[in-house]
Amino acid sequence: MPFNYERSVLLSPLEIIAVIISVIGVTLTIRRNMWCWWFNFIACALYACFFFTVKLYGETLLQFFFILMNVYGFYYWLKGKRQDHEIRIETIATKTVVLQLGLAVLGGFLFGLILKHFTDAAVPMLDSQLVAFSLLATYWTSRKHIATWILWIFVNILYVGMFSYKELFLTAALYAAFVGLAAYGWWQWEQAKQKQLGHA
């Protein structure tokens, strides 16, 4: 697939702004700061426009789901903060993890078939599976489960490969940074969980 220099030049300002806001959003999420949802909301809106132009329709649609999840996450975090006066880490049962991962695989497969047969999506099956797991990871983030960071590590590694294939190198670099941020987020939330247990 030849590199489209004109497309890259035209879209680079939008991509750069989306990258910067995304990094701020993830950093605030790691710090369990309520402002993370607003930065993530703006980043999703920008990336929805960007992904549509490069025919990553699954990712485009994902951004709109992310926007809805950001509203839900903000509400859930705010509710918890009012009750506990902080954003507390919540546990999740192993059975729930397995069940929800299975549903994500199935949902991603079915969505992939739709993209493959009814659109000109660039990489329909990979795109759809990443959409499904990203939605699950975002839901886990909204529910304050540490497992969200483990899932984000694997999802972001795959995103690096897909965006590199599409020659979206700036976004690929962003997701490579997200891998490190997710690992750091995992460590930070573990520390917060240990403090909660100590206070309990």
Structural domains in the chain (count)? 1
pLDDT in tens, 56-68: 787 788 899 889 9
pLDDT in tens, 53-98: 877 787 788 899 889 989 999 999 998 887 766 778 888 999 999 9
Find all residues with CB under 8 Å of 199, minimum gap 6, and list them.
none
CB 11 within 8 A of CB 164: no
Q: Give me the percent of the chain exceeding a pLDDT of 70.
A: 92
Find all residues with CB under 8 Å of 70, minimum gap 6, and list them.
37, 38, 40, 41, 44
Range of the domain at 21: 4-199
pLDDT in tens, 123-143: 889 989 998 999 999 999 999
CB 151 within 8 A of CB 130: no
Query: Which structure tokens are listed for 151?
Result: 């899932």
Nearest to 36 by CA among 158, 188, 196: 188
Residue 177's alpha-carbon distances to 23, 102, 115, 184, in angstroms, are 8, 27, 28, 11
Round to whole Å and give the CA distance between 154 and 184.
14
Nearest to 22 by CA among 173, 125, 191: 173
Is the pLDDT at 107 greater than 60, yes or no?
A: yes
Is the pLDDT at 168 greater than 50, yes or no?
A: yes
